[in-house]
Structure 1
Amino acid sequence: MPTRSRGSRHRHRKETATALKRLAALDDNQRKRLAFALDTVFGIHDLPYRLLAECNAALAEDYLQARGYAQVEADA
């Protein structure tokens, strides 16, 4: 694997910090829309879960169940 130069690492960290700030600034509707696009267009499942969890924990759990990553607990 090629190593990155010091300037390249610095630029990557700065871009990552900028992206995280932008994600933090999204409102709930924007998070839900981004989660939908990441899932349906790009097939990404971990970030949509995190975005949905920031909006609503139950919605995020429903997402995991719909994706088959979590089992539905049977009522006793």
Structure 2
Amino acid sequence: MTAPPVGNHLRRLRFEHGGLSQEALARRVGVTRQTIIAIEGGRYAPSLELAMRLARSFDLSVDEVFFWTGDED
């Protein structure tokens, strides 16, 4: 299975926000810790709704949290 062409800054943002744990972030946005692990590890691209909830939890825009890593086709 190929990794999704979406990268993120979640791990860095968690540490910049007081060492927020994966569990705490997951609770904040209504998902499991395993989902946060998969997103941070680049194995799962979140839905638009989840991406927006994650960005909002850091008071950022979606494109400040997530970035495209795929080809520009």
Determine which structure has greater relative contact order: mean sequence separation of CA pairs < 8 Å that are 6+ residues apart, divided by chain length: 2
**TM-score, L = length of structure 2:** 0.29
> Highest CA radius of gyration, 1 or 2?
1
**TM-score, L = length of structure 1:** 0.28
